[in-house]
Amino acid sequence: MSLKCLWELQELDLAIGVLVEKLEENPFHLEAREAAGNLEQIEQELNRAEQALREQQKKLRRGELDLETITAEHGELHQRLYSGETKNVKELEQMEVKLRSVKQKQLTLEDNLLGLMESMEKQEELIGDLAGRKDVAAAEMQKRQQLLDEELARLGGQLKKLEERRGLLVEQIEPKRLQLYRNISERYQGRGVARVINDICQGCRVFISSAQRGFLYDPQAVVYCENCGRLLVRFAGEESLPGPVE
Ligand SMILES: [Zn+2]
> Is residue 39 helix, strand or coil?
helix
pLDDT at 244: 47
CA atoms of 148 and 3, how far apart (whole Å): 39
How far is Cα 11 from Cα 23, in angstroms, rounded to an integer?
18
Q: Ligand 1 mean position to 127 CA, how many Å? A: 68
pLDDT at 238: 56
Determine the straight-line distance between the first and last CA of the chain, rounded to whole angstroms: 24
* Virtual torsion, Cα 131, 136, 142, 148, nearest 10 deg: -140
pTM of the model: 0.69
What's the pLDDT at 84?
84
**What are the backbone angles phi and psi of residue 234, rounded to the nearest 5°?**
-115, 130
Looking at residue 178, its pLDDT comes to: 95
Per-residue pLDDT 10s for the chain (246 aa) are 578 899 999 999 999 999 999 999 999 999 999 999 999 999 999 999 999 999 999 999 999 999 999 999 999 999 998 888 888 889 999 999 999 999 999 999 999 999 999 999 999 999 999 999 999 999 999 999 999 999 999 999 999 999 999 999 999 999 999 999 999 999 999 999 999 999 999 999 999 988 888 888 777 789 999 999 999 998 876 554 444 444
Q: Which residues contact 233 (CB under 8 A, 6 or more apart)?
A: 2, 3, 4, 6, 7, 193, 194, 195, 196
Distance 165 CA to ligand 1 centre (A): 28
Q: Is 199 exposed, middle or buried (0-12, 13-18, 19+ CB in 10 A)?
A: middle
Q: Ligand 1 centre and the CA of 209: distance in Å?
A: 11
Inter-helix orientation angle 4-24/175-187, to 10°: 50
Q: Are 18 and 171 in contact (CB under 8 A)?
A: no
Give residue 208 CA to ligand 1 midpoint distance, Å. Answer: 8
Phi-psi region of 172 (alpha: psi -120 to 50; beta: other; left: phi over 0): alpha
User: Is residue 104 classed exposed, middle or buried when 0-12, 13-18 and 19+ CB atoms within 10 A define those classes?
Assistant: exposed
Domains of the chain: 6-172 (1.10.287.1490), 175-234 (no CATH)
Between the CA of 197 and the centroid of ligand 1 the distance, in Å, is 11
In the reported structure, the alpha carbon of residue 105 is separated from the centroid of ligand 1 by a whole-number distance in angstroms of 96
CB 199 within 8 A of CB 179: no
Ion ligand 1, residues whose Cβ is below 5 A away: 201, 203-204, 225, 227-228
Distance 229 CA to ligand 1 centre (A): 6
Q: Can you give the pLDDT at residue 151?
A: 95
